[in-house]
Structure 1
Amino acid sequence: MTTSSSQPISEALFARARQVTPGGVNSPVRAFGSVGGHPHFIASADGAYLTNADGQRLLDYIGSWGPMILGHNHPGVREAVAEALQGGTSFGAPNEREVLLAEKVVELTREQGVERVRFVNSGTEATMSALRLARGVTGRSHIVKFRGNYHGHADGLLVEAGSGLLTTAEGGLGEAAPSSAGVPQEYAALTLVSEYNDPAALDTLMQQRGHDIAAVIFEPVVGNSGVLIPTPEFLAALHRVRDHGALLIADEVMTGFRLSLQGACGRLGIQPDLITWGKIIGGGLPVGAYGGRAEVMENVSPSGPVYQAGTLSGNPLAMAAGLATLGELQAKPELYEQLERYTAALADGLKAAAQEAGVPLSVNHIGSMLTAFHQEAPHGSVQTYQQAARSDTAAFAGWFRAMLRQGVYWAPSQFESIFVSAAHGDAELNLTLDAARRAYAELK
C-alpha cells in the first residue's frame, strides 16, 4: 500500500480501519489507548522481529501475546501447517491430528491429573466451558475469581478483570461489579471476587459461601495485572477450596507450556481439578482446550450432560501447529533454561538502567514472562492487584513510546506481561537494554 502524502502507512491503515471496525482494531489493547500514538500494522514476522507496513523492523516482546515461544514463523511449525493445508483447512469431523495433540497434552500434564482433553478455538471458550462443566458436576451456580485475573470475555468472567480493564475500584469481600457494559448485574452476581495472594480473604469467602460455589478459577501466574507470582500460602489456600466441595480451575491459557513443559501447575506444584490452555498448544493459530480427571471430563457431551460444541474445534491446521510446537519444546528442554537466563538478564538490566536514571521501577519475572512496573514496590516486588494498580502509567507510556522509537516493541499496557522467545539472543538483549537506558534517561 502507498499513501498520497508522507503519512505513515500504519497511520493511514488505522484511519481506514476506524471507518469499518470499532476503534480500528479487533482487540482493544492493540489500539494503543493507554500509551498514545497509533498502532503499528504488521506485514510480516520472523524470529524475534516484526516488520510493520512501513517496512520498519521491530524487536518484538509480545509474541502474539504468548504463543510464539519458538519465535515467529518457526520453520518446523510453518512446514507442519503447510503439510496439513494440503489436506484441507477444516472438516467438521474428527481427524488424526487432534488425537495426537490430545495424547501429547495428556502425556505432558498427567502428573497434574489430566486424563481427558477437549479442544476449542480460544482461551475464552476454554474457560467458559470449564466453568460450565464445574457447574454441571457440582450442581452449584456461583464461581470465585480473583481481582485483576483475566479469563476471557465471557459475561460471567468480565468482573473485576485485569489488563485493559484494570481499575482501582474498591469492593467488599465477594462483591462483584461488571467490568464491561452489556454484562447484566444479575449474571455478574454469580461471580464472587477475592484477592489474589490473600489466603485469609479466600478462606473467609469459602467459609461464608463455600456451599454455593461450583469452582474457583485463577491464573497460576497472573499476566493481566502485570506478572504476579503466587505465594506458597496462597497456593495452599487454593487447594483448600476442595474442602467445601468446589472444583479448582487453573487458567493456563497464558502460562501453559510456557513456564515449563508441565506449565505453571507443574512448576509450582499445583494440583487443580481442571486446566485450561490456549496460545502455545496452537503454535500461533486460534486454539483453546480444557482438561482434567476422567471422572470430571466424562460429564462433557456426548459422554455426559454438559453440552459444548464447536465447528472448528480440533481443526487440522491448529492441531498441526500445536504438535510441531510441543514436539520442539519436548525435544529441546534446554530451551526453558535459555529463556529463563535471558529473562533474568533482561530484568537485571532494566532495573540497573532505571536506577541509573533515578526512575522508580520494580520488575517481576518468572520463566519467560516479565513486567516492569513503574513504581517503587514496598517489599521489592509487586504481589497484589492493588499494588499493581499504583504503577505510574504516564511514566510507562513515555517509556513505551521511547522504546518504540528505537525499534523495541513492548506490550502497549503497563498491566501486561511481555514474552521472551527462543529467538531472542545476546544481540536482542543488548539492543533492548541500550534502548532502555536511553528511554529512562528521557524520563529523568
Structure 2
Amino acid sequence: MPVDRGGTSSNTTTGFEVVGQRSKDSFARARLVFPDGTSRVTIERNPEPLYLERGAGSYVFDVDGRRFLDLNCNFTTLIHGHAFPPVVEALSHQLQRGSCFANPTKGEIELAELLCGRIPQVHRVRFVNTGTEAVLFAVKAARAFTGRSKIAKIEGAYHGAYDWVEVSQAARPDNWGDFAAPKSIATYRGMPDGVLEEVLVLRFNDVEGARRLLTLHARDLAAVVLDPMPSRGGLTAPKSEFVAAIQEAARSNGILVIADEVLNLRQGFQGSAARYGLVPDLVTMGKIIGGGLPIGAIGGREDVMEVFNASAGPPLLPQGGTFSANPLSMTAGLVSMRHLDHAAFDHLETLGNIVRDGIAQAIEKRGVSLCVTGAASLFRIHPMKLPPNDYREAYLSPGGASVMKELTRFFAANGIILPYGAASALSTPMTRADAEIIVEVFAGFLDSNQGKMDVIEVQT
C-alpha cells in the first residue's frame, strides 16, 4: 500500500526532503532566542527540527503543509491523537467559564474518582502539573512516611527532571560499573555528590541483584522507583520473578514500591503495574490522564497518602502548585479517560500486535540483526538480533546508532514520524491500514538498506 503524504502518494522512498524550507527558516529564528534553537532537549533534528502547524487525529501537518502519521504522540501522551473532538468541545466550554482558580472545582473530584475507581492501589490522589512533579512528590512522600532518605532506581530508567531519579539515567559503558553493583552516575555536570550517595542503582530484570542490593541497603531505603517497562531501558517487559523479587525485598524491609506509570499507564485499562503483577504502594501518573494538557498525579495507599493531609495542622509533606488541578487539565483529562474504555484498549492492543508482529516477520524474512519490543500500543525497534533485557543490552553501539538514525529519516521521508531511541506510540484514531503502512515502510527500509545492516555491532 502506498504511503500518503498530504494528498500525494508514492512507494517508499528516500528522495523526500524531510525538513522543508519553512521549518529551516523557523529554526534560524529560534537559534536567536534559544540556547540551541529549541526549548526541549528531546527535540529531534534532521539536521533541523520539523516545525508543526497543526494536528488532526493520528496525523500532524508541518509548516510546509506536509502530512505525517504521528508515532511520537508528544512522547506517548496523545492516546486519542490530536484535537480529539470531545476534548476540544469540553475545553471550549470550560474556557468560557474560567481557566484557573485558587479554589477547588468539581472537575478535580470527578477525575480523582475515576482514577481511584480504575487503578489498583490508588485509594487517594494528589494532582500536580507534570510527570516530573508526580515522581518528585512520590519520592518525598515515601521519605515522609518511612523516615528514611535513600531510594533505589533502575539503571537507564527515565523518571523526569528530579536529581535523585536522574541518577544513572544516561550511564555509559565507560562509567556504569560492574554488572553486580552498578555505579551511581551523575546525569549533569555539578550534580551533588550527596545525591549520588543517596541512590542505589539496580539493573532491570536482574533478579538476584535486586534482591541482594535491596536487602543490603534496606535500613536506609525509603522506596524503590520502578517503571514496569522502562522506555529508555529497552521497552522490555519485566520478568515475573524480577517483579516478585522487588516486592518481596521491599515488603520484608519496610521499603515502599513506587510504580512510575507516567508513560506506561497506556498499557491497559488498569495500567501496566496490574498487567505485570506489580502491587505498588504509590503510583505516579501523567501524560494520558491530562487529555493533552499538562498534568501529573500521585496516588496510593490511604495510609501513605496521609502524609499530604493538612486538615489537622501542618502535614508531614506540604504540597501545592499554582496550576495543580487546574480546571482545564481536569476537564480534558476526565473526558479523555472516559473515552478510554475497554473497547479503546482492545483496539490499541490489536493495532500494536499488527505492528510488532509485522515488523518481526519482516526481520525474520530478511535475516537481519534487528528486533522489536513493546506491548499494547507501544513498540520500539532495536539494532540488535535479540531483544534486550535491560538498559545495558539496549545501549546503542556506534553502528547501531547509525542504523537507527537512517531508519527514523527513512520513515520521515515516507510520511511517518518515528521517535529515535525511544518508544513509538499508537493512538485510537489509527486504523488497521495505518498499522499496515508502518510495517510496509519498515520492510521498505530493510530492502533499501540491506547492505548497511552489517554495520550493526550485535551487543551481548
Using structure 2 for the length normalisation, give the TM-score.
0.89
Partner of 1:352: 361
Give the residue type in structure 1 aligned to 2:389: Q
Q: Which residue of 1 aligns with 2:328?
A: 317
- Displacement after TM superposition at 1:426 (Å): 2.3
- Please name the residue that 1:16 is paired with: 29
User: What one-letter code is carried by the residue in structure 1 that aligns with 2:261?
Assistant: E
1:19-418 equivalence runs, <5 A: 19-32=32-45, 36-109=46-119, 112-161=120-169, 165=170, 167-168=172-173, 169-172=175-178, 173=181, 175-240=183-248, 241-256=250-265, 258-303=266-311, 304-330=315-341, 333-377=342-386, 381-390=387-396, 392-411=400-419, 413-414=420-421, 416-418=422-424
Alignment RMSD (CA, Å):
1.6
Quick one: distance in 1 between partners of 2:78 and 2:47? 25
Q: Give the whole-Å Cα distance in 1 for the aligned partners of 2:234 and 2:434.
A: 22
Inter-partner Cα distance in structure 2 for 1:31 and 1:23: 12
TM-score (norm 1): 0.92
Indicate the SS of the match to 1:298. Answer: helix
Q: Does 1:438 align with 2:444?
A: yes
Residue 427 (1) aligns with residue 433 (2):
yes
Q: 1:43 to 1:182 in 2, by over 3 A?
A: farther
Q: Which amino acid in 2 is paired with 1:26?
A: S
Tell me, which stretches of 5 or more residues in structure 1 are unaligned? 1-5
2:258 and 2:68 map into 1 onto residues whose CA distance is: 37
| Counterpart residue type for residue 363 of structure 1 | V
Deviation at 1:351, TM superposition (A): 2.4
2:395 counterpart letter in structure 1: A
Contact 1:174 1:205 in 2 (8 A): no
User: Aligned AA for 2:34?
Assistant: T
The one-letter code of the counterpart of 1:321 is A
Kept after mapping to 2: 8 A contact 1:121/1:313: yes
Separation (CA, whole Å) in 2 of partners of 1:346 and 1:262: 23
Q: Tell me, in whole angstroms, the C-alpha distance in 1 between the residues paired with 2:20 and 2:80.
A: 34
> Is the deviation greater in 219-228 or in 232-241?
219-228
The one-letter code matched in structure 2 to 1:23 is: D
Q: Which amino acid aligns with 1:10?
A: S
In 2, Cα distance between the equivalents of 1:361 and 1:390?
Answer: 12
Q: C-alpha distance in 2, partners of 1:90/1:405?
A: 42
Query: 1:285 is aligned with what amino acid?
Result: L
Q: Which residue of 2 aligns with 1:3?
A: none
User: What are the Cα deviations for residues 344-379 of structure 1, in whole angstroms up to 9, with x where unaligned?
Assistant: 1111222233344443111112111111111111xx
Q: Helix, strand or coil: the match of 1:250?
A: strand
In 1: Cα distance, 2:367 partner to 2:198 partner: 46
Q: Is the 8 A contact 1:160 1:179 kept in 2?
A: yes
- In 2: Cα distance, 1:57 partner to 1:234 partner: 43
Q: Quick one: structure 1 residues 181 and 31, their matched pair in 2 at CA, closer, same or farther if it must change by over 3 Å? A: farther
Q: Secondary structure at the match of 2:55?
A: strand
**Identity within the alignment, %:** 34
